[in-house]
Chains A and B, each alone.
Chain A
Amino acid sequence: MEELRPDPDLLLDQMRRETERSREGQLKIFFGAAPGVGKTYAMLEAAHKKISEGVDVIVGLVETHGRKETEALIEGLEIMLRRSIEYRGAVLKELDIDAALARKPSIILVDELAHSNAEGSRHKKRWQDIYELLGAGITVYTTMNVQHLESLNDVVTQITGINVRETVPDFLLERADEIELIDIPPEDLLQRLAEGKVYVAELAVQARRNFFRKGNLLALRELALRRTAEQVDEQMQSYRRGKGVKEVWPAAERILVCIGPSPFATRLIRAAKRMAAGLRADWIAVNVEAPGKVRPSENDIKGLADNMRLAEGLGAETLVLSGHTASEAILDYARSRNVTKIIVGKPTHPRWKDMIFGSLLDELVRGSGDIDVYVISGDSRESMPHPAVKAGTAKVPARDWIISVAAIAGCTASAALMFRRFELVDIAMIYLLGVIFTASRTHRGPAILASLLSVAAFDFFFVPPFYTFVVHQKSYYVTFIVMFIVAFVTSRLTFRVREQAEAARRRERSTAALYRLSRELVHERGLEQLSAIATKHISTVFSQNTVILIPDDQGRLLTPAGEPESFVLDERELSVAQWAFGHRQKVGRGTDTLPGAKGLYMPLVASSRTVGVIGIRSDDAAGSFEPEQIHVLENFAHQVAMAFERALLAEEAQHAVLKAETESLRNTLLSSLSHDLRTPLAAITGSSTTLLHQDDVLDRHSRRELIFTIIEEAEHLNRIVRNVLDMTRIESGAITVKKEWLPIEEIVGSVLNRMAEKLIEHPFTTKIPKDLPMAPFDPLLIEQVLMNLLENAVRYTPAGTVIELSASVEDDELLVELADYGPGIAPGDEEQIFEKFVRGPAAAGGIGLGLTICRAIINAHGGRIWAENRKGGGVVFRFALPISEHPPVVETDEETVRFIS
């Protein structure tokens, strides 16, 4: 056989899964067909073997059921204490998962995978405990019988007639790294049973007798063998895929199963799972929110939720569809997803209903085209029709009943006005109007009442003899029956349309909310704003009690400060949220893990990490969340997680850039400072020591010279320190622009005042129009800009050359220009001079920060600054500050010619 190149994607996928696995513990299942085959015994033997190899093995929990051989094997093993849980007076002993996690052995033995934990445990099921242990990197040995496997559960029930309630999801078996089938011939097992070596607590004596029949045992054995073989086959397949062995791969199959709230649906689900497993196909479980359905009853909601959860547990994708008709909705969706097979249940309702309302099955089969439709038989005992009418009447407010009666009373009144002038048929029509009105405004019950009342009132008031229910003419009975049927059917149809519209609105609302959320999230950057937006949107869709928890550097979740609406998290709830964060799983109310918590916690899992947790609590304290809601919340969580991750990545990138920049700034600064600070310091030290030690030999002129040197150099140092400090403040973002309205003239005045001494050698002119309007800017910062520009001009131009300053307002901008007649800038350097540590020609004595500071300040004002060489020589610096609003109005008093009080 030719070795082919393996598909790189498949290889990558396999590698990824293997690395993930290598961090997790291994799962070994000792698998048997029935109790008593010796699974626990085999597990203990394996443990002893591992211990002899020097592996750290402990017994987490093993049930010996008093069997001597098993007890003998346990001796010499390290056994963990169990956790005692008091439940309804009895003390139940369960696996102490926290102790196991703390002890962290290499291998832990945990018997009976299918066991349900006592109420009050962390998980509902033991397999969840084991899942957590595996996640912590501990290898688990466990035991399990074939009848506990979810997808085979109903088959086993059919074979043995015994309903097994404790089940284990199939994916756990698929997840197992090793399955050891413990198999003994049925004869031997029956022999052991007879000897009392088999302990079957959960079955009564009679049931036990039924269970341990040779036929049953043979069937179960076959199931176990087949399931193990399938598993081996799967492992073989993945090996072959990895090695690039070409095989015939069936065209991708996709199965869709339609389920409802009835317990019968569990059969459909398991059948679909088996078929999907056999075909290696994906499968989808859908519920159709049929427009014909009235508001579902509590029982229906719960039943559907259970069924959806079961399907999810078996690996299905679940969702709820709605449409004009059920068949249309199913077929449309099936086509959109390339479904190849649809599984539906056999109808259990009477045939006449199909004739009146149409048959879903019939429509499906007719419209299915090339999709195969499988009809799975139902069990009449299980498929109890759900009490729809009862559901409808359950919560009808009194107002609706009043509307119903009032509508018919109103019809009677208007009919009385028409009576005698119109035919009786027309009067009957008026009543129909009342019934439709009632149906469109109220519930099912009042609508039916209106139908009945309309017939009664029609008979009582308008059919002779009047004011009695007695009818003489037989033909009126037909009128009554037709009238009732028409009223009844019309009311149902009206009601149905309303329900459908409502359902559509509900879904529309969550879709729209999701869209709005994602759209708003795109525009935000900060984690806090993102979290606020997400909280707001989730609150509007689900519950007012929403909180988003973000971890700190150590991965501890923190409640965001200052969110008044969010619920207060006590220590316990916070630890539940922390669990969700650590295990990347949803926990709490509505889930299988820690269902006793007050809220539901959903981790925000992004592509590379978990970025936080959404906590949500039902508005009424006892309320739970439906799978559909949880599904929608998951969509929200996904959006939020992506947005958070994006924000975190951006932040990290920015930090990295900032850090690099700070680093380079610091380096340049240090090298620059060491020179720039030492030069004036040397001059000061030299001058002052000369003054001190040679006071007697210095003439008056030399003394003054030295003193001036000290003053000048000190000022120079002051300028350097000021610039460095300004730069640092700007870089660290500590400078905020405090804009005030003021005339630029004022700032020019103060700058010229401060620099008066330096400007002595330069003729200086200003051109500022008298009526120049005020502009909004930060006076201190702009003073700094002008001062730096002026200092530059003085420093780089020869004494005696003119410096000109002018200001004007053009196009909503204040434009300030400072021109000199110096040597100008080397062409091409006009931009570069604004960069950090870029200095002009030598000996000018700056450190190259002045213009950088100017640019930073002007940019912070939203303005711009640039330099140009002038045609006649010299350079002109210009900066423009935006004037985006109108200056504030100042009421000036009348100009008085003269006033003497």
Chain B
Amino acid sequence: MGTTITDYTNVHERANHLGCTIPQCIAILPTNFVSAATRADFLHLSEAATVRSLFRGHDLSMDELLPAPERAAYIQNNSFEWVAPTLFVSSCLMTENPAAVNVALNVLSAYIVEWFKGSPNTDRKVKIDIVVEKKGDWSCKKIHYDGDPSGLNELPPIIRGLSDE
């Protein structure tokens, strides 16, 4: 349980290479974003659709990597944990509207707390990866969080730190 930070592929370059739209705010990255041979092979976690609805319902802007009307398939892993899709936070968003990250994580945390309502405390676990683009050179770091949903609210300062690094 906790947070780990590792290097991640340059999302700007990778999206460009695959002919995807380059995300300028928050985006959901497919589970195989780094390894997919083409964008037609992209696979989203099933929960990606929930996050999309959730953010839209709170007027949070999201970019789609795939040009319309293309749509990625989903992978449903039937596990008890709530595994969130990988979120991408662009350097542009962190410059223009950093508060959007706090709102996004609050919205997500509130939904997951509701999702686990009534479950024994030991079962309430969430896993999420957040890819943060650094201002200036667009290099990326991945934050992996594994723990209680309420801990998501502690991630914004880490995201800000990585973006400004």
* Bind each other: no
Q: Interface on B for A, CB 8 Å cutoff? A: none
